[in-house]
């Protein structure tokens, strides 16, 4: 199986989805890859908690769906092992709508015979990403007062799996 391409080439926010063509059939992305984020809410969503901690982005960036799922799993593992499912509510805020594309360029001997180069460079759909602006919330954890430190630890661990830098903000619910 082929490796995932490095995300450095997709980190910058660009105009989503679109392709402008004089032919109507070529003005859209044909296939949208399946989103790898399994669930967007974990824990106990119906229970009301006293405190909410937000993981907030410090800059504009794109986050690939597999990075969101990886960060969600790491933070959920800490919370579920120490608190149980009834003592927290974890929510993934952004949805990965943006389709990332790749224009494969052939290299090696004889590549010029079957490579189109940049002639038809729209690219094939590779994966999905969430576009996040500066100040947007990525993850949200709701807990009671005695579990705040554990929630901060879970968000810190999740931020290490994401590109860019993040801060943790705490809000008291009334």
Q: Does 108 reside within a domain?
A: no
pLDDT at residue 137 tops 70: yes
Closest CA to 91 of 159, 138, 50, 37: 138
Q: Does 33 reside within a domain?
A: yes
Q: Does 25 reside within a domain?
A: yes
Mean per-residue pLDDT over the chain, rounded:
87
Give the DSSP letter of residue 111: H
- Cα 164 to Cα 153: distance, rounded to the nearest angstrom: 18
* Radius of gyration, CA atoms only, the chain: 20
- Cα 20 to Cα 11: distance, rounded to the nearest angstrom: 22
Closest CA to 34 of 125, 124, 103, 123: 125
CB atoms within 10 A of CB 130: 22
Q: Which residue has the tokens 């805020």?
A: 93
Per-residue pLDDT, averaged over 76-91, amounts to 96
Query: Contact at 8 Å (CB) between 49 and 158?
Result: no
Q: Does 59 reside within a domain?
A: yes
Give the pair of three-digit tokens for residue 114. Answer: 């079957």
Range of the domain at 145: 7-101+117-172
Q: Does 106 reside within a domain?
A: no
The confidence band for 103, taking pLDDT boundaries of 50, 70 and 90, is confident
Number of domains in the chain: 1
Higher pLDDT, 15 or 134: 134
Can you list the positions of beta strands (E) in 16-92?
A: 41-43, 51-57, 61-64, 89-92
Q: Does 2 reside within a domain?
A: no
| CATH code, domain with 61 | 3.90.1170.10
Closest CA to 79 of 145, 139, 162, 155: 155
The confidence band for 150, taking pLDDT boundaries of 50, 70 and 90, is very high
Q: Does 76 reside within a domain?
A: yes
pLDDT at residue 18 tops 70: no
Share of the chain above pLDDT 70, in %: 87
């Amino acid at each position: 199986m082929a490796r995932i391409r490095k995300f450095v080439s997709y980190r910058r926010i660009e105009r989503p989805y679109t392709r402008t063509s004089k032919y109507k059939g070529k003005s859209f992305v044909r296939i949208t890859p399946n989103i790898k984020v399994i669930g967007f809410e974990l824990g106990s969503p119906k229970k009301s908690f006293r405190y909410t901690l937000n993981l907030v982005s410090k800059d504009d960036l794109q986050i690939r769906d597999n990075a969101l799922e990886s960060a969600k799993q790491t933070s959920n593992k800490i919370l579920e092992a120490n608190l149980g499912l009834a003592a927290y509510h974890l929510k993934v805020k952004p949805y990965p709508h943006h389709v990332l594309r790749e224009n494969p360029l052939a290299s090696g001997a004889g590549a010029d015979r079957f490579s189109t180069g940049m002639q038809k460079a729209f690219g094939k759909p590779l994966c999905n990403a969430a576009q996040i602006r500066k100040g947007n919330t990525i993850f949200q954890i709701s807990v009671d007062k005695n579990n705040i430190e554990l929630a901060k630890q879970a968000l810190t661990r999740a931020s290490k799996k994401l590109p860019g830098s993040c801060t943790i903000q705490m809000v008291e619910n009334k």
